[in-house]
Amino acid sequence: MATTAQLFEEPFDADEYIERLAWRTPGGGSKGGAEAFDPKRLLEEFENHIEELKQLDEKIQRKVEKLEHHCHREAKEFAHKVQDLQRSNQVAFQHFQELDEHISYVATKVCHLGDQLEGVNTPRQRAVEAQRLMTYFNEFLDGDLRSDVFHNPDKIKEAADIIQKLHLIAQELPFDRFSDVKAKIASKYHDLERQLIQEFTTAQRRGEIGRMREVAAVLLHFKGYAHCVDVYIKQCQEAHVKEKLDSTRHSDAEQYLKNLYDLYTRTTSLATKLSEFNLGSDKHTFLSKLIKSIFSTYLESYMDMEREYLRSRGAMILQRYYDSKNHQKRAIGSGSIQELKERIRQRTNLPLGPSIDTHGETFLSPELVVNLLQETRHAFERCHRLSDPADLPRNAFSIFLLLVEHLCVDHIDYALEIGLAAIPSPDAKNANLYFLDVVQQANSIFHLFDKQFNDQLMPLISSSPKLAECLHKKKEVIEQMEVKLDTGIDRTLNCMVGQMKHILATEQKKTDFRPEDENNVMIQYTTACSKVCAYVRRQVEHVRKSMDGKNVDTVLTELGIRFHRLIHEHLQQYSYSSMGGMLAICDVAEYRRCAKDFRVPLVLQLFDTLHALCNLLVVAPDNLKQVCSGEQLTNLDRNLLHAFVQLRVDYRQARLGRHFS
């Protein structure tokens, strides 16, 4: 194996190197087994390889010495070069110091000479300037401005410099001797000031920034410089406002109102920040007048635009909803004939016209309500920011009236009218009652309406006479809705009772309470009772989902009373055998269990009493008087007790009437 320097490159492992050398030597490795191993041959190979390594070491050592010698020689040469550069640098530095001293000397001489020249020239220039000003002053004194500088528009900058200096001089002169000339100079001063401001305004409109800079530099020494700043700010604001608002004023009312609100808010915010700086003693008045001058034309017509936008936007939202339902709004009558029909419908079961089938649609939309309230909230925010404080309550009230019109009248009230018209007559069979769903959604919507009234409207009118008007209007709207809600709930309860009556009429048989085989009655309660209780439980759950607060107890109390009255009257239509009386008691017990779902003590008490009355149907004749004197029956009218006893089939045979004579 040839020995080279590459064999010893890192990482180098001596053991691996020896193993590889032995393996490559014939007879030196484990190849061929122990018989093939030749230690002499291996020793000879190691000795030869050691010699090669020594020769390689000597070769590398000579190369290292040669490189070290070359490096030392180059280091010496580099050191000599550095020394030469240092000597050259020292010489250059000395020359620089000499040149700097010479320049300082010349500069001192020049400054001295300049001071001498200035000392001579300054009085001369002052004398020339004074002579020139005296010449112009004489022209004002004579009343004849002959100099071209006062008549040439191109020399307005020079004229401004002259008149500004003359104005300062005139202020030092006695008034009694120079009153006329002072007045003429002051007049020319103000005239030039107006011309400069007009020139600045014209340059700004043309976008000539350089000219604006020149005129502003001249005006800087005039009293009207602050007015120049006002003009600049006003022009900038008017241009920006006009660009943003005029493009959408007649084409996109929504974007116009948003832009107006945004620009006015940002401008007032900027004015608040500017008021922190020293802008004079009347800075607040100045800033408010500036804002008013910019937005006055837009603020004057703001409320008309707001009302028109809300009216059209609200109508569009409503129409879009009804179109999505493929519904054509019905004309709701409001005359005396309609009121008469409504009263007759409430008090009788006469069909005064076909009821509307809404297919379960309430025509109330939470999404529509959110959109209307969102638009109104934005309108209240704009009204608060853009209205004059004196007009704010009146404007807020007008927005509130539009909300009442769209939300309460055109949507909620319309849905209630449709819901009332959709309530079937009490004698309708298998009637679907959706009015309670209308009640539930109407209550939810009105809670949102009431929240916006308190959160958005009240802060705007709380300290004005409009508060009483708003509260009165809100009360009026609530009362109108409550009347229709109460009417609808009452008619819905009548329908529920009518449905129960229909179930009892179709399912209850006379033989239920006078079975042919008294000894073979296997049922716990009648089919009619089972179906009525199932129906009542569904309606009770429906009422609980549709109402909230005390309204649940109020409606369930009324439903429970009507439910009890129906069962009471229904039981009085039959005659009862002994086993039939027991079955009637079982029915009433089931009705009483159903009444517990009402969670109304009065309803449960009524059915407890009815259960006690039914006991009169099965009690032994000898114990009848004792039972009638019991705790639950002792306070009832004896005619009522007698009426129940008369329902027994053995009434005449057992001469039960004698107990009530």
We report the CATH number of the domain holding residue 640 as: 1.20.58
**pLDDT confidence of residue 487:** 92
Closest CA to 420 of 368, 324, 325, 495: 495
Residue 248 lies in a domain: yes
Q: How confident is the model over 89-118, as pLDDT tens digits?
A: 999 999 999 999 899 888 888 887 877 777
Closest CA to 500 of 525, 530, 524: 530
Q: What are phi and psi for residue 576, nearest 5 degrees?
A: -125, 130
Separation between Cα atoms, residue 579 and residue 461, nearest integer Å: 72
**pLDDT confidence of residue 606:** 93
Q: For residues 426 and 367, state if they share a domain.
A: yes
Mean pLDDT value across residues 615-621? 86
- Does residue 39 have a pLDDT over 70? yes
Most confident of 19-23, 421-425, 492-496: 492-496
Domain end position, chosen among 90, 115, 142:
142
- Does residue 436 have a pLDDT over 70? yes
Closest CA to 574 of 587, 559, 591: 587
- Does residue 641 have a pLDDT over 70? yes
Residue 177 lies in a domain: yes
Confidence of residue 349 (pLDDT cuts 50, 70, 90): very low
Q: For residues 98 and 174, state if they share a domain.
A: no
**pLDDT confidence of residue 96:** 92
- Does residue 254 have a pLDDT over 50? yes
Domain end position, chosen among 81, 111, 142:
142
**pLDDT confidence of residue 351:** 45
Q: For residues 472 and 571, state if they share a domain.
A: no
Confidence of residue 136 (pLDDT cuts 50, 70, 90): low
Closest CA to 528 of 559, 557, 499: 499
Question: What one-character-per-residue DSSP string does 168-212 give?
Answer: HHHHHS-HHHHHHHHHHHHHHHHHHHHHHHHHHHHHHHHT-HHHH
Beta bridge partners of 576: 648
Q: What is the dihedral of CA 615, 616, 617, 622, to 10 degrees?
A: 120
Host domain of residue 87: 38-142
Residue 302 lies in a domain: no
**pLDDT confidence of residue 342:** 55
Q: For residues 442 and 481, state if they share a domain.
A: yes
Burial letters for 231-269: b for 16+ Cβ neighbours within 10 Å, e otherwise? beeeeebeeebeebbeebbeeebeebbebbbebbeebee
Mean pLDDT value across residues 455-461? 92
Confidence of residue 486 (pLDDT cuts 50, 70, 90): very high
Mean pLDDT of the chain: 81
Residue 244: half-sphere exposure toward Cβ, Cα within 13 Å = 19
Q: For residues 74 and 163, state if they share a domain.
A: no
Q: For residues 373 and 262, state if they share a domain.
A: no
- Does residue 140 have a pLDDT over 70? no
Mean pLDDT value across residues 23-49? 73
Residue 168 lies in a domain: yes
This prediction has a pTM of: 0.63
Domain end position, chosen among 142, 173, 190:
142
Q: For residues 336 and 467, state if they share a domain.
A: yes
Q: For residues 333 and 476, state if they share a domain.
A: yes
Q: How confident is the model over 407-416, as pLDDT tens digits?
A: 999 999 999 9
Residue 10 lies in a domain: no
Contact present, 548 and 443 (Cβ < 8 Å): yes
Least confident of 67-71, 360-364, 559-563: 360-364
Q: For residues 193 and 267, state if they share a domain.
A: yes
Residue 321 lies in a domain: no
Higher pLDDT: 586 or 626? It is: 586
Confidence of residue 62 (pLDDT cuts 50, 70, 90): very high
Separation between Cα atoms, residue 36 and residue 42, nearest integer Å: 12
Q: How confident is the model over 560-616, as pLDDT tens digits?
A: 999 999 999 999 999 988 888 889 999 999 999 999 999 999 999 999 999 998 988
Q: Looking at the 3D structure of the chain, how many domains does it have?
A: 4
- Does residue 288 have a pLDDT over 60? yes
Q: For residues 497 and 523, state if they share a domain.
A: no
**pLDDT confidence of residue 3:** 57
Least confident of 65-79, 190-204, 591-605: 190-204
Q: For residues 532 and 460, state if they share a domain.
A: no
Residue 33 lies in a domain: no
Least confident of 271-280, 291-300, 347-356: 347-356
Higher pLDDT: 135 or 297? It is: 297
Q: Which percentage of the chain shows pLDDT scores above 90?
A: 35
- Give the 3-state secondary structure percentages of the chain, helix then strand then coil, rounded to 5: 75, 0, 25
Higher pLDDT: 26 or 273? It is: 273
Helices 366-386 and 302-324: crossing angle in degrees, nearest 10, is: 170
Residue 593 lies in a domain: yes
Q: Which percentage of the chain shows pLDDT scores above 70?
A: 73
Q: For residues 406 and 337, state if they share a domain.
A: yes
